[in-house]
Amino acid sequence: MSDVRECDVVVIGAGPGGYPAAIRAAQLGLKTVIVERDAPGGICLNWGCIPTKSLLHTAELIRGGMQSAPHGVRYGEPEVSIADVVAHSRAVSAQLASGVTGLLAGHGAELVNGVARVVDKGEVEVETSPGRTMRLLADHIIVATGAKPRQLDGIDMGDSRVWTYREALIPDRIPDSLVVVGSGAIGSEFASIYQALGSRVTLLEAASAVLPAEEAAVSEVVDAALSSRGIVTAADATIVGVDQSDSESIMVEWETSAGDRQRSGCDAMLLAVGVQANTSGLGLERFDILRGDGSIITDDAGKTGVWGLYAVGDVAGGPCLAHKATAEAIRCVDALAGVRRVPEPGDWKEWIPRCTYTDPEVASIGISAAEARRRGYDVATGKVSMADNGRCLGAGETTGFAEVTIDRDSGRFVGANLVGAGVTELIGMISVAHTAQMTAAEFARSIIPHPTRSEVVHEAVLKALGRPVNSL
């Protein structure tokens, strides 16, 4: 059976791109239906950002107890119940998923559970249950189906000991040993989590450094911190063999750029080698709008080359970040509704904050000083150690630094790199300053509360201006 309904906007996928798009469309008075095949909130809320941060907080609690002696507090060996750790993480995700459902209803967007497929321009077919379909006719169709974990050839993903981030979030036991392949944000965060939980962790990276997307100085700080806790890190490591024949252990073999080969047995292996767009089964092949990697080609407002068809978030290409998806969703809906059609600056993706929640945390935005010089900027940088900040010193969290780069000619911000405890909460300061087109001198006039970690960013700006107060 099938019923046909007309609406103004159909959104496919209720993740951090989809549900804000549906809410914004409803706010603008557009009749909106959003289709989700799983739980509202998408990968980020259910299997990514949120549950991962819950596990990372568990890891922080464990490390905090182990590092409390210098502060006059001593604890015994922690007892970890992985079942309770997982249960708390899943409860947080479930609560927020329920919240998304309530938000959609409260704003007047209708949520339909089912599997959607674009069958023609302005037409979406939704299988709501076996043998039952719904046809939605709309002037605007927004695809926000996110991405899925990328796999490696030659590895049996049916082996319960081979994990993606999804399996790593719901283990039934803590593996004695874990090999993590890929040291981007996902891989490095899980390496931090499982080391704190008690696993012996090996972190492999094919590029030349851990967290290869970050500046070398940032990567070095994180690599040193991970290594100091017993995590074995290996960059320039190419997987050359994975033997899953032994029921007791997976044997992973890798080769370095120098030609050296090493092997490590492990109880579990986590693949964190990136993601790929979720476009399979959507019926988009007929429209000739897909890149070779499966992502959807759009303009800066999310519009494809097909009438009435849009895409936002991971499915439209990187960077694959929840806050990028949300920003794209709002921009897309405002544009299609005629509310705002102002072209975005050509460098807008460079000004999406990039955060990694390892210990120490990493946050960056804009471009590096080296890249700025290559583009012809005359730049000044200010770099301040976390050890120069009283709040960090009192907490015993002195690892890392804040570095800010400004353009001498315009006085505007070019970029920032932060590494240290809590820095993911600080990078927004530079994002707001950039969006407001604030100069570094104007930023420096801001009065920052003392003692707070945010002072380290302010001090870095002062240093870039040549007038530091609390550092040399």
Q: Which two tokens stand for residue 449?
A: 């509360």
Ligand-binding site membership of 122 (annotated): no
**C-alpha distances in Å from residue 30, one per residue of 105, 203, 311:** 14, 48, 18
Please report how the helices 185-197 and 49-66 are oriented relative to each other, as an axis angle in degrees rounded to 10.
40
Which member of 57, 140, 450, 458 is catalytic? 450
Degrees to nearest 5, angle at CA 43 with 40 and 47: 105
Residue whose structure tokens are 């033997």? 243
d(C-alpha 145, C-alpha 444), whole Å? 42
Q: Is 450 a catalytic residue?
A: yes
324 is annotated as contributing to ligand binding? no
Instruction: Of 341, 334, 343, give the one whose Cα is nearest residue 140.
Output: 334
Pairing of strands 2-12, 32-36: parallel
* 2 marked ligand binding residue: no
155 assigned ligand-binding residue? no
Angstrom CA distances, 75 to 62, 174, 195, stand at 10, 22, 19
Measured in degrees and rounded to the nearest 5, phi and psi for residue 311 equal: -150, 140
* 188 annotated as ligand-binding: yes
- 181, 272 contact by CB (below 8 A): yes
Q: Is 314 annotated as a binding residue?
A: yes
Query: Distance between CA 19 and CA 130 in Å, rounded?
Result: 25
127 labelled binding-site residue: no
Question: Does residue 184 have a known ligand-binding role?
Answer: yes
Relative to beta strand 132-143, strand 379-385 is unpaired
| Maximal CA-CA distance, the chain | 74
Residue 144: name the closest of 383, 416, 333, 350 by CA. Answer: 333
To the question of whether residue 303 is assigned a binding role by annotation, the answer is no
318 is in an annotated binding site: no
Find out whether the peptide bond into 451 is cis, omega within 30 degrees of 0: yes
Output phi, psi for 389, to 5 deg: -105, 125
Give the rounded distance of the alpha carbon of 275 from its chain centre. Answer: 11
Alpha helices in 229-270 (DSSP H): none
Question: If you search the block for the tokens 């969290």, which residue do you land on?
Answer: 397
Place of tokens 């570094």: 440
Q: Is 220 annotated as a binding residue?
A: no
Residue 237 annotated in ligand binding = no
Active site residues: 450
Annotated binding-site ranges for FAD: 53, 314
Annotated binding-site ranges for NAD(+): 182-189, 205, 274
Annotated binding-site ranges: 53, 182-189, 205, 274, 314
